Structure 1
């Protein structure tokens, strides 16, 4: 890490930051010449900093604040090292951190530690998840109260329609996407294909698969930060808000995963189209945990505007082969790459918590050797299926009362997230729809 700074003397300031429960980067700005202090001794934040609400405020009744004297934790580098911040004008670098208690134990309220705990359970069984994420986002002109697609830098015109897989639309923002790919390369984020989507000014970028689930979540977290920052440099906004426009589809974060054994073989592959018993067990686990974990896939009030029938987002708890109307899709193709696509999460999620919920539920299914219902066929919206929670308070209640979530998350994490969301529900109810859009547009 020190070598990186020596090789990049133009970097005069660094940011040291960790993810809070909402996926917001919380941290400090430090002159680069004092970076050794962080590398050698860590840095200290109050434990409560990772448990703030969407406005960045303390949780009123959190035991981490006054009850515990608002005690500090110590944050250490995650191992990612310094990454440049190409969206800033002055050369700067970000050092990702995660939080520990003074006794060296991981802080139970850190979302990255929550994912790591799930990954360690896979390792104990000789298994390694292989993960890839697809992130959808909107480019938005938010210079007035009425959100609209930005004017094309090439033509000056606004294309007021969704254009699925439109090369023309991508080319209209070629300078932005060229800079985005260059920035991803500089930050070592494995950006692959980009396409235009069904929403107004909506795009999707695929991140390449990784055999390190923590790294995959890091990539998604950094990518969201990058896209939002870089868009501002280009004179417009980018947002992963679930549904900024009521008349267009919302943004998702689809997660693909398979699992390798100690020999490097895909435990979902039976050399045919159906997959193994382990694949079915993992699917069953995902389905069994879906209702209770919806809060992690739809963590905000606006998230539930996306989860409506016939909107390219799943509402029923079901699975199928090669069917994008279901919550769980098993893509076709080479059996060696047999995998699960989990399609529930919105673009507005915390990638660490979402991936922990998905991989954790799958592992519970594998441990219990659970069996799923039969795969569905046709339009899942037209079937009589058990439904995921359709509103925010119901999702909070399901998460809080779940018997499955304690098998995935530490009780303190569950408590902290429930307290956070109950506080947000209280204050969001006091805002107008326009005020809600304003807060979500830039944060999530």
Structure 2
């Protein structure tokens, strides 16, 4: 079982506070994650923040969706001193600190998405493995002055012209990622107009999940300064590519050997078993990795988003792709997720599926070479409603550390789907983006 005190013991709270104060930080933003992957935070001056670093932050758990009921609402969040970021893009005055939620006995609350992912990592380590993940986050930079989003450039994949967005916004984002501690990375224009992709460097799943949250905050702040909106809504425009969060996964043993690294051009037996596990779970975890009504308008043929549960080498139409550029095979890319996901829940679900495949030595179907959209193969759920139905009967819904949060999550997502269906019929609107979606997802997904 996850032990928060043991996880925190390697870093002295006062040392973290002292370094932040010496570096010029004026405020600390102590952040708790909600069930949707949205950060909830308390901002306080640097001097009183020392008490929170030492003793934790009391807060009303009933005011954050699905944490608890109003009659049992006094919770404490303790800082994860491994997860501290300085907002250099905002002059370095604010530090973001991620928190883990505990009860009055110090036991981790399993409605906290960070605790759920840490538990999945712990179970992986208990089996003798660790995971590395990296994510390609696609997003749009748009103008929203008219009440609905508008494209701001006509660029294409790997656009080389120095457009205003590429020269100013994208360049500033790349520099800010390095300065904030996310790491050195790259950014490029994606296939659709106004669409960009940034690489979140490979690291432990908890670090990458935190990095995604910080990146989304950063991107919105920087885009706003330039008069734009950075949106992580999966499909803001019909007729062009939507945005994915393609997740690269490798599994290592505790001696530092990559179990997916092959000496030839074929996936290792361990990689194939992991792929089999993830494919088997694809329908049941769809609501976690593609969590919005709008997500299922991205999952349509011929826009580089998966619609068939298949895998292949270098095949971007498949759900799982083995990146292969004539060199070694060392990871796979899961193309189902999109950037509106709660990365903590999504990664926990993915790791569980991967481990199930590894432990059973499962075998995947043959890799596909053809365009997967045209195959007579099992399809992804067609709507969020279908996906929630699959999630409720999923094996992850009965895992000790996920049972509680998945039940609550399914209820929230079912309500989201029902709210949409009370206004629109899917058969009439699957090929258009509605005002309801812009209201619910454009600035918050």
Q: TM-score, normalised by structure 2?
A: 0.89
In 1, the alpha carbon distance for the partners of 2:162 and 2:339 equals 21
Larger deviation: 187-196 or 428-437?
Answer: 428-437
Q: Which structure 2 residues correspond to residues 187-226 of structure 1 after superposition, within 5 A?
A: 187-210=180-203, 212-226=204-218
- Which secondary structure does the structure 1 equivalent of 2:216 belong to? helix
Number of residue pairs aligned between Structure 1 and Structure 2: 421
Cα distance change, pair 82–409 in 1 and its aligned pair in 2 (3 A): closer
CA apart distance, 1:345: 0.6
- Residue 261 (structure 2) pairs with residue 285 (structure 1): no
**Counterpart contact for 2:263–2:329, Cα < 8 Å:** no
CA distance in 2, matches of 1:334, 1:365: 27
State the SS of the aligned residue for 2:324: coil
1:34 aligned onto 2:48: yes
Q: Deviations over 1:31-67 (max 9, x none)?
A: 22211111111002233455x2xxxxxx6xx8x224x
Q: In 2, distance between residues paired with 1:90 and 1:284? A: 45
The SS at the match of 1:376 is coil
Q: 1:279 to 1:86 in 2, by over 3 A?
A: same
Take 1:143 and 1:172, find their aligned partners in 2: how far apart are those partners?
17
Q: Could you tell me how far 1:340 is from its partner in structure 2?
A: 1.1
Partner of 1:167: 160
Residue 388 of structure 1 corresponds to 380
1:81/1:293 CA distance change after superposition, 3 Å: closer
Q: 1:224 to 1:148 in 2, by over 3 A?
A: same
- C-alpha distance in structure 2 between counterparts of 1:431 and 1:84, whole Å: 42
Match of 1:8 in 2: 23
1:356 counterpart residue number: 348
Contact 1:170-1:196 within 8 A present in 2 as well: no
Q: What are the equivalent positions in structure 2 for 1:152-301 lying under 5 Å apart?
A: 159=153, 161-168=154-161, 172-210=165-203, 212-301=204-293
Q: Distance in 1 between matches of 2:193 and 2:274?
A: 35
Q: Which of residues 87, 100, 106 in structure 2 aligns to 1:85? A: 87
Q: Please give the alpha-carbon distance, in whole angstroms, between the structure 2 residues aligned to 1:40 and 1:92.
A: 19
Partners of 2:55 and 2:182 in 1: CA distance: 27
Check whether the contact 2:143–2:150 (CA below 8 A) recurs between aligned residues.
yes
Shift of 1:392: 0.8
Q: 2:9 — aligned with what?
A: none
Q: Deviations over 1:283-316 (max 9, x none)?
A: 1100011000000111111111101111210011
Whether the 8 Å contact between 2:265 and 2:329 is mirrored in structure 1 is no
Distance 1:42 1:224 in 2: 25
5 Å-filtered alignment, 1:111-190, equals: 111-150=113-152, 159=153, 161-168=154-161, 172-190=165-183
Aligned CA distance change for structure 1 residues 49 and 98 (closer, same or farther; 3 Å): farther
Counterpart CA distance in 1 for 2:406 and 2:276 is: 22
Distance 1:243 1:4 in 2: 41
Give per-residue Cα distances to partners, 1:309-352, cap 9 Å, x unaligned: 11210011011111110001111247665111100011211111
CA distance in 1, matches of 2:52, 2:337: 34
Q: Retained in 2: the 8 A contact 1:281–1:365?
A: yes
Match of 2:33 among 16, 19, 22: 19
**Alignment partner of 1:279: what SS?**
helix
Tell me which moved more, 119-128 or 419-428: 419-428
Query: What is the match of residue 65 of structure 1?
Result: 69
Deviation at 1:426, TM superposition (A): 3.3
User: 1:408 & 1:202 partners in 2: Cα distance?
Assistant: 39
- How does 1:402-421 map onto structure 2 within 5 Å? 402-407=394-399, 410-421=402-413
SS of equivalent to 1:443: coil
Q: Describe the shift of the 1:165–1:136 C-alpha distance in structure 2 as closer, same or farther (beyond 3 A).
A: same
Match of 2:365 in 1: 373
The aligned counterpart of 2:427 is none
CA distance in structure 1 between the partners assigned to 2:117 and 2:184 by the alignment: 22
* Matched position secondary structure for 2:316: coil
Q: Secondary structure at the match of 1:235?
A: coil
